[in-house]
């Protein structure tokens, strides 16, 4: 059901509605969370998307992993991931209260493992870097890993535990965010936005994932990811998220309470969404190397999505250069789900107060150069063909 402003009918042309305070382009988790936060503060909000929740979030695994996702050279991004992950418990509780829907938030933590000696050496180098940042990691011997999860392969050479790396179900999250937005008075308009001149509002927020490039000129590129969904006949034999290296292949396994296990994901500099047999083979081989019983699970779904990547793989947050009434909330790459709470809070605060939070400083469009935010003419390119509702995922 699509909400309407007081005094309007659902059949009205969107252009006949009262001018909104905020227009959000893109109804992925980022766009809807911003809309919810703004509407909850009493702002008149419209969200433009022809098919809410159908973008990359539909394929996402939903890992909230500030520790496991801390990579070399991304110190400022790691700080933002940590901040947002810390907000997730309260955000999830508030969203459940506002929507009446479970979002699948789980806090068992994540086990990070290495199958071979070489895999463990690579993993330990990364864990040492993460520990150097002060992130909470507990090294574990093979026997300690299997004490926690007996389904793990006895071939594992070692691992570590990240207790603050949790998970949420992105598909449930999307449904809850939509309900909460509508209950707060937000309006979902099921029409695509081809140009920002089609949008009339006090502030326009572009949260269109890969589609942001065509709308704004920001250097957001699609990064293809292929992912599998399995179903365990009697429920998964493990509780923790498993992330590991298996003969050089990185893979994760995310168990859900209803018996689903998400296995992913590739990272490809491609613009298509074709599922390939090679990717399925690599993911299943690595997954079964780490958790052998996965070979007996039902293969339910194989799909691909497009993550919106930026030149430095960090999100793009804040006003476009020379266009203070147009805010970007995009470029989240593989971190869209974990960064949903902090992005929504920062953008909503900026809209309401007009004062940017210091957390925004490293992620503004200005860091990308003077040409950032200048739309290029449509040329039928891959970026132009990407639908505005694409969102980031992990």
Question: Following DSSP, what letter does each residue of 300-350 receive, concatenated?
Answer: EEEEEEEEEE-TTSS-EEEEETTEEEEEEEE--GGGTTTTHHHHHHHHHHH
- Quickly tell me which residue has 């993911």 as its tokens: 283
Q: What is the pLDDT of residue 381?
A: 38
Give pLDDT tens digits along the chain (394 positions): 233 333 333 334 444 557 999 999 999 999 999 999 999 999 999 999 998 887 888 999 999 999 999 999 899 999 999 999 999 999 999 999 999 999 999 999 999 999 999 999 999 999 999 999 999 999 999 999 999 999 999 999 999 999 999 999 999 999 999 999 999 999 999 989 999 999 999 999 999 999 999 999 999 999 999 999 999 988 999 999 999 999 999 999 999 988 999 999 999 999 999 999 999 999 999 999 999 999 999 999 999 999 999 999 999 999 999 999 999 999 999 999 999 999 999 999 999 999 999 999 999 999 997 656 565 554 443 333 333 333 334 4
Closest CA to 215 of 286, 338, 140, 320: 320
Secondary structure (3-state) at 274 = coil
> What is each CA distance from 323 to 12, 164, 196, 310, 362, in whole angstroms?
30, 38, 12, 20, 19
Q: What is the pLDDT of residue 254?
A: 98
Q: What is the pLDDT of residue 9?
A: 33
Are 178 and 30 contacting, i.e. CB atoms less than 8 angstroms apart? no
Q: What is the pLDDT of residue 336?
A: 95
Distance between CA atoms of 159 and 100, rounded to whole angstroms? 38
Q: What is the pLDDT of residue 1?
A: 26
Q: What is the pLDDT of residue 370?
A: 64
What are 298's strand-pairing partners?
231
Q: What is the pLDDT of residue 369?
A: 78
Closest CA to 338 of 383, 311, 307: 307
Q: What CATH number matches the domain at 1-106+166-220+310-394, 2.170.150.70, 3.40.50.720, 3.50.50.60, 3.30.2350.10?
A: 3.50.50.60
Q: What is the pLDDT of residue 3?
A: 36
Distance between CA atoms of 91 and 332, rounded to whole angstroms? 19
Distance between CA atoms of 166 and 88, rounded to whole angstroms? 9
> What is each CA distance from 159 to 259, 343, 349, in whole angstroms?
25, 32, 40
Q: What is the pLDDT of residue 257?
A: 84
Are 263 and 251 contacting, i.e. CB atoms less than 8 angstroms apart? yes
Fold classification of 110-162+222-307 (topology level):
D-Amino Acid Oxidase; Chain A, domain 2 (3.30.9)
Q: What is the pLDDT of residue 216?
A: 95
Are 130 and 117 contacting, i.e. CB atoms less than 8 angstroms apart? no
- Contacts of residue 113, defined as CB under 8 A and 6 or more positions apart, other chains included, come to 123, 145, 152, 156, 158, 159, 242, 243, 244, 245, 290
Q: What is the pLDDT of residue 88?
A: 98
Distance between CA atoms of 90 and 220, rounded to whole angstroms? 30
Q: Where are the domains of the chain?
A: 1-106+166-220+310-394, 110-162+222-307
- Quickly tell me which residue has 């993550």 as its tokens: 307
């Amino acid at each position: 059901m699509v909400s309407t402003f007081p005094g309007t009918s659902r059949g009205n042309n969107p252009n006949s509605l009262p001018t909104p305070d905020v227009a959000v382009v893109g109804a992925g988790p980022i766009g809807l969370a911003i809309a919810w936060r703004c509407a909850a503060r009493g702002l008149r909000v419209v969200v433009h998307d022809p098919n809410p929740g159908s973008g990359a979030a539909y394929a996402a695994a939903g890992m909230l992993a500030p520790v496991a996702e801390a990579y070399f050279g991304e110190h400022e991004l790691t700080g933002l991931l940590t901040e947002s992950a810390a907000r997730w418990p309260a955000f999830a509780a508030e969203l459940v209260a506002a929507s009446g829907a479970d979002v699948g938030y789980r806090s068992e933590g994540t086990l990070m493992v290495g199958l071979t000696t070489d895999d463990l050496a690579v993993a330990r180098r990364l864990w040492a870097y993460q520990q150097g940042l002060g992130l909470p990691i507990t090294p574990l011997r093979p026997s300690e890993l299997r004490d926690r999860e007996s389904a793990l392969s006895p071939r594992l050479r070692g691992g570590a535990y990240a207790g603050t790396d949790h998970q949420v179900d992105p598909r449930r999250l999307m449904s809850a965010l939509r309900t909460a937005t509508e209950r707060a008075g937000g309006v979902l308009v099921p029409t695509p936005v081809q140009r920002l001149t089609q949008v009339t509002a006090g502030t326009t927020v572009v949260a269109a994932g890969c589609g942001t490039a065509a709308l704004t000129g920001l250097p957001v590129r699609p990064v293809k990811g292929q992912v599998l969904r399995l179903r365990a006949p009697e429920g998964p034999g493990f509780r923790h998220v498993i992330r590991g290296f298996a003969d050089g292949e990185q893979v994760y396994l995310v168990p859900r309470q209803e018996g689903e296990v998400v296995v992913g994901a590739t990272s490809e500099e491609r613009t298509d969404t074709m599922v390939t047999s090679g990717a399925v083979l690599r993911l299943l081989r690595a997954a079964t190397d780490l958790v052998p019983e996965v070979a007996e699970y039902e293969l339910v779904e194989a799909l691909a999505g497009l993550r919106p990547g930026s030149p430095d793989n960090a999100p793009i947050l804040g006003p476009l250069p020379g266009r203070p009434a147009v805010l970007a909330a995009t470029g989240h790459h593989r971190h869209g789900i974990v960064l949903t709470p902090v992005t929504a809070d920062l953008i909503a605060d900026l809209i309401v107060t007009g004062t940017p939070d210091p957390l925004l400083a490293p992620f503004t469009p200005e860091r990308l150069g003077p040409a950032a935010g200048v739309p290029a003419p449509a040329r039928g390119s891959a970026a132009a063909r990407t639908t505005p509702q694409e969102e980031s995922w992990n």
